Amino acid sequence: MKSLRWGLTTGTCAALAAKAAATLLLTGEQVNRAELTLPDGARISLPVHDLTLTDGAAEAAVEKDAGDDPDVTHQALLRVKVALNGRDCHRFIAGPGVGVVTKAGLALPPGEAAINPGPRQLISSALAELSSAGFDVTVSVPDGERLAAQTFNPRLGIVGGISILGTTGRVRPFSIPALRAGLKCALDVAVAEKLDALVAVPGNMGRRAALRHFQLGASQVIEVSNEWGYMLEELAGLGLRRLLLLGHPGKLGKLAMGQWQTHSAQSQSAVPLVQDLCRAAGMTLPETANTVEELFMAQLGGAERQQIADRLAERIRLTVSRKFVQLPETAVVLINLQGELIGSSGSLTPWDKAGGEPVAD
């Protein structure tokens, strides 16, 4: 099998451009390459283009390399302008081609530039290597508005361009055979370590939440991505003692609908299901919700939120257990975008003492 080449996210490219621009602003040096440290500790660098210094601001650009992933932003140019703002914090501004959030339910409130928390942190860390001062950081993407039409931004209420994304800083190339091979390797490690209690999560956000809330060994947490049908079938044949499914209701809610491949291009939104659960509980909701996160965190109060999250978790647990009858005792935990627990079904007590060395938060 050909090894697919990983790429870098728009967030990483924006952080590299911001650092190059800040270097020019503070020292006058025009660097040919910029480098920074990713969340996993790896040090990476990319070439820098179009360095300019004018009127107390500096600008630089970095071209995105998405690797072998068919990303619409591959080879897009991330332009970042920085200027000292006299504050002790950074302000993030949407330039041309970068969207603005207009509706609730996303990781950022309405009115904010669609530069997600992960990239904001990466940009802040890159700038902190140069100075403790606060900067105004304006991110632009030429042709970004056209590119955004090929994404989910219009239906999410993000207008004017693309979102600047990324949690790990890297782009994992999309290949089902390669992904499944990687998942099988993770299971092989768990089997070799004689683990009989595993946690399945969609990705990095779920992994962080699992390690934060439960006492787990690193090998116990398996990132499934969107391959839930494949992975649950594999897990059913391992002879496990117990299994925990943990993730965002927008992703795991699709399992309650019998959708075992949860990629957005191959599955339907869980919003109608959650709305049906609310109506069945006698709750009155606004006519529309763009995302499951908006529905839970903006339209439901605390008590209602837990009630519906618990009901959805129970629906997920029962649907999975009926489909994959050889699975062991299974629990489901739902989290919001901040990694906070919002609902569950099944006993969670055993997970406080699950096998493996505990991992610090």
DSSP 251-278: HHTTGGGT--B--TTSS--SHHHHHHHH
Condensed to tens digits (0 to 9), the pLDDT of residues 140-167 reads 999 999 999 887 688 678 999 999 988 8
Confidence label for 356 from pLDDT (cuts 50, 70 and 90): very low
Q: Which residues contact 185 (CB under 8 A, 6 or more apart)?
A: none
Condensed to tens digits (0 to 9), the pLDDT of residues 28-69 reads 999 999 999 988 888 999 999 999 999 899 999 999 987 656
- Reading the block at residue 320, the tokens are 């999975």
Q: Which of 126-130, 218-222, 224-228 has maximum average pLDDT? A: 126-130
Task: Report d(CA 227, CA 262) in Å as an integer.
Answer: 7
**Which neighbouring-strand residues pair with 158?**
101
Q: Pick the residue with more confidence: 23 or 157?
A: 23
Q: Pick the residue with more confidence: 142 or 360?
A: 142
Task: Report d(CA 166, CA 160) in Å as an integer.
Answer: 19
Angle, vertex CA 243, rays to CA 305 and CA 273, nearest 5? 35
The pTM is what?
Answer: 0.64
What are the residue boundaries of the structural domains of the chain, listed by start?
Answer: 7-171, 176-353
Residue-level pLDDT at 31:
96
Which phi and psi angles does 185 have, rounded to 5°? -65, -40
- Reading the block at residue 255, the tokens are 């399992």
Task: Answer for the pair 33, 48: CB distance below 8 angstroms, yes or no.
Answer: yes
Q: Superfamily assignment of 7-171 in CATH?
A: CbiD-like (3.30.2110.10)
- Reading the block at residue 179, the tokens are 């992904």
Condensed to tens digits (0 to 9), the pLDDT of residues 199-216 reads 999 988 999 999 999 999
Q: Pick the residue with more confidence: 174 or 115?
A: 115
Asked if pLDDT for residue 354 goes beyond 60, the answer is: no
- Reading the block at residue 225, the tokens are 């991505």
Asked if pLDDT for residue 177 goes beyond 70, the answer is: no
Q: Pick the residue with more confidence: 102 or 113?
A: 113
Condensed to tens digits (0 to 9), the pLDDT of residues 77-111 reads 999 999 999 999 999 999 999 999 988 777 888 99
Residue-level pLDDT at 68:
57
Task: Report d(CA 43, CA 62) in Å as an integer.
Answer: 16
Radius of gyration for the alpha carbons in the chain, expressed in angstroms and rounded: 22
